[in-house]
Structure 1
Amino acid sequence: MVVWERPEPSSRPVPAPLSRERIVRAAIELADADGMEAVSLRKVAAALEVGPMRLYGYIETKEELLDLMVDAVHGEIRPGGDGWREALRSLAETTRKAVHRHEWFADLIGGRPQLGPHALARGEAVLAAMGGVDVDLAMPVVTAVDAYVIGAVRREIAERRAERATGMDKEQWQRTFGPYLKRKFATGRFPALSTVVHDAVHLDADETFRMGLEFVLDGIEVRISRDSRP
């Protein structure tokens, strides 16, 4: 029986009452503070001030704990809006916000299909908004948007981690490597790249994400329109 359907043990009196919800919340707090390496059944038990064996009545393995953590974050992803385009835009933006709140989520999103109740509710909400889209296109369309979002947020989180590892923010990085790029561009071997670096508008992370998302949605709209023609 999967963890979401398995009954919890009977409640025990204070000082340390437990539930899967409390266990998952404690695990998420550890991961938010110190990353996934801070999450183990032993460390979660310590945070809850109980013995590790108390947790096994609620969660049998660390993999189950990770599944529950991921599903809890899916509960923060609430697609909305009228029509498929607004629903997909909302899906993308709320997913990105969830990853920014829970950096570790970037490492787990996009793996095996998520079947927890919050993930299923998220999928139902999105597909319900795709009512005017051919049934054969609905899942590929959602998958395409998910793929864009996963790639984009993983890059953003990788940049965050690089800043922490090197101690250099974007401006410091540019000052450090700017002279090197100028020397390379001066050779004349990279004219297209030089033009983009010097002349193109440089967008911030929010603008870059939204523009890329609109590219994806525009392409989807063209395909849907084409396939809906008589």
Structure 2
Amino acid sequence: MTVWDRPEPPHRPAPLDREGIVSAALALADEGGLDAVSVRKVAARLDAGPMRLYRFISTKEELFDLMVDAVQAEILAEGEGDPAGDWRDVLSALAHRTRCAALRHPWLADLLGGRPALGPNGLAVAEATLASFGERADIDTVMRAVETVSSYYIGAIRREIANLRAERTTGLSKEDRQRASGPYLTKVLATGRYPALAKAVHDGAHVDAETAFATGLDWVLDGVSAKLD
């Protein structure tokens, strides 16, 4: 039995429910990442005994599932009222909203693409995504298309969040780190052993993370579109 089909116990002796538990876990994760989340720490946040929480959740992994589904609810809410779009519009919006959600909740990057999202909000996102293709292609082709796009944006999000974490850990921005490694890289490239890399360093355009994400996403969507056509 999963956490999704296990009924909540009565709210006694003091009011406590999964929504409150998840809210406390989200706050802890936003403050200190997934390492800051445990049943005991959430219980302390709620001024409740840990054993009371185990009546609502069996493991920390179940708590993570509930947290991810809560963020999926945010992603769904951001799309409410949007005009109906085709598969490309839907996947593009999902990718950008997932990125924004990960920037609000950096810990999300560690859970994306892991355990299947079986909560009601995760299932709603999956249903809307698959349904956007209509009769455009057979279901196996649709599944590969969705997997291809999600593999891109999950990987891009994880890389961006990793860079942001490095900035927080070291106190150095990406530009600071590049300047610090500049003398070494200049010396290495001067050997002539890495001509393609040298061209990228010296001639390549430097764009911000949002532009890079959007450009890569458009290229992936173009490829999927060509395959469907």
Secondary structure, aligned partner of 2:74 = coil
Q: Please, what TM-score do these two structures have when normalized by structure 1?
A: 0.92
Point out where structure 1 has 5 or more consecutive residues left out of the alignment: 226-230
| Matches for 1:57-72 after TM superposition, within 5 Å | 57-72=55-70
Point out where structure 2 has 5 or more consecutive residues left out of the alignment: none
| Matches for 1:1-230 after TM superposition, within 5 Å | 1-12=1-12, 16-78=14-76, 81-135=84-138, 136-225=140-229
Cα distance in 1, alignment partners of residues 135 and 167 from structure 2: 44
Instruction: Give the CA deviation at 1:137.
Output: 1.1
Q: Please, what TM-score do these two structures have when normalized by structure 2?
A: 0.92
Cα distance in 2, alignment partners of residues 65 and 128 from structure 1: 29
Instruction: Give the CA deviation at 1:165.
Output: 2.1
Question: What's the C-alpha RMSD, in Å, of the aligned pairs?
Answer: 1.4
Cα distance in 1, alignment partners of residues 49 and 188 from structure 2: 59
Cα distance in 1, alignment partners of residues 110 and 205 from structure 2: 31
Instruction: Give the CA deviation at 1:11.
Output: 2.0
Identity %: 57
Cα distance in 2, alignment partners of residues 126 and 52 from structure 1: 38
Q: Does the CA contact (< 8 Å) of 2:163 and 2:174 recur in 1?
A: no
Report which stretch shifted further, 126-135 or 75-84.
75-84
- Runs of 4+ aligned residues of structure 1 deviating over 6 Å after TM superposition are none
Cα distance in 1, alignment partners of residues 135 and 215 from structure 2: 25
Instruction: Give the CA deviation at 1:70.
Output: 1.4
Cα distance in 2, alignment partners of residues 64 and 152 from structure 1: 26
Instruction: Give the CA deviation at 1:8.
Output: 1.0
Q: Does the CA contact (< 8 Å) of 2:99 and 2:157 recur in 1?
A: yes
Report which stretch shifted further, 192-201 or 119-128.
192-201
Cα distance in 1, alignment partners of residues 127 and 69 from structure 2: 14
Cα distance in 2, alignment partners of residues 188 and 32 from structure 1: 45
Instruction: Give the CA deviation at 1:133.
Output: 2.1
Secondary structure, aligned partner of 2:169 = helix
Q: What is the one-letter code of the residue matched to 1:40? A: S
Q: Does the CA contact (< 8 Å) of 2:30 and 2:107 recur in 1?
A: yes
Could you give the per-residue CA deviations for residues 35-83 of structure 1, whole angstroms, max 9, x where no partner exists?
1111111110110011111112211221211111111112122366511
